[in-house]
Amino acid sequence: MRKCTAGSWLSEGWRAFSQHRWLLLSGVLILLVVSLLQQLLERWGGLITFPPGTETAAASSPNGFLLFMDYFVSLVIRPLLDVGYQFLALRAVRDEGALGDMLAPFRLPLPVLGAYWLTHIIMALGFLLLVIPGVIWTLRYMFSPLLAVDKRRGALKALGESRLITLGYSRSLLGLGLVYLGLFLFLGGVGYLLVEGLVRWELALLISSGVQLVIKPWFAASFAAAYRDLDEAFRTANRPDPESDA
């Protein structure tokens, strides 16, 4: 059985990223394009000015259709693509990946969206109560959307199964999450310092995109490796003993 530690997951994530870099980078580029589309929809719909510093009269008169499209992309399309990228990373960890795997959640939209938004609601409630419950619940239910795709589980079933496979591994998952958060904040802070005092939004966007291209594929594969190993460990521990049935 594989080691279930943050270090082993980071190592496995790097292996998967190294062997399938173009696949995982292609997925990140798709997410970046969708993020840009969201920004443009908000700009055209009148919610924000994009690029910054380009205020116009059109921004003060919201367009209902464009606002609807923006909400639809934000609440439906982007969550499905985010889960799709997690599934793509999982397939890369299993050395089975193809870019079309990113569309797998679109074939199961209701269970995936249900697991995704229920997980986020549980996480938000946890952080509203106290930070510690929020962290615990995040670690406990973080794999629910991925389970909905990988195992074709309903939303509630995925939540329950995520809780089971992560039981007893909170420290390892927390360690992985802290490494991700620390590295992301460090690189993001470097990018912020580079653009401090500059008005060129293009440079800030370029640095932000660069950070995502460096960090997101590696850590997506690392979290996918964690899911794979925890799922296998749970299946092994709960596998029926043939001798006991005899």
**DSSP assignments along 75-93, one per residue:** IIIHHHHHHHHHHHHHHHH
The alpha-carbon radius of gyration of the chain (Å, integer) is 20
CA distance 118 to 157: 12
- Report the pLDDT value the prediction gives residue 134, as an integer from 0 to 100: 84
DSSP, collapsed to helix, strand or coil, labels residue 245 as helix
Report the 3 state secondary structure along 186-222.
HHHHHHHHHHCCCCCHHHHHHHHHHHHHHHHHHHHHH
176-to-87, 121, 162, 222, 224 alpha-carbon distances in Å: 18, 22, 17, 8, 12
DSSP, collapsed to helix, strand or coil, labels residue 50 as coil
Residue linked to tokens 């679109």 = 106
- Report the pLDDT value the prediction gives residue 208, as an integer from 0 to 100: 65
How many CA atoms are closer than 13 Å to the CA of 168, on its beta-carbon side?
Answer: 8
- Report the pLDDT value the prediction gives residue 47, as an integer from 0 to 100: 52
Residue 155 near residue 115 (C-beta atoms within 8 A): yes
- Report the pLDDT value the prediction gives residue 57, as an integer from 0 to 100: 46
- Report the pLDDT value the prediction gives residue 63, as an integer from 0 to 100: 66
Per-residue pLDDT of the chain (246 residues), as tens digits, is 678 899 999 999 999 999 999 999 999 999 988 888 887 777 765 555 445 555 554 445 666 777 788 788 889 999 999 999 999 999 999 998 799 999 999 999 999 999 999 999 999 888 887 778 788 888 999 999 999 999 999 999 999 999 999 998 989 999 998 998 887 777 666 656 555 555 455 666 666 666 677 788 999 999 999 999 999 999 888 766 555 544
pTM comes to 0.82
Residue 4 near residue 174 (C-beta atoms within 8 A): no
- Report the pLDDT value the prediction gives residue 73, as an integer from 0 to 100: 87
- Report the pLDDT value the prediction gives residue 205, as an integer from 0 to 100: 63
Count the residues in the chain: 246
CA distance 221 to 19: 11
Question: CA 206: distance to chain centroid?
Answer: 21
Residue 59 near residue 49 (C-beta atoms within 8 A): yes
Q: How open is the CA angle 18-173-161, to the nearest 5 degrees?
A: 105
Residue type, 101: D
Q: How many separate helices (H) and strands (E) can be counted in the chain? A: 11, 0
- Report the pLDDT value the prediction gives residue 100, as an integer from 0 to 100: 93
CA distance 138 to 63: 36
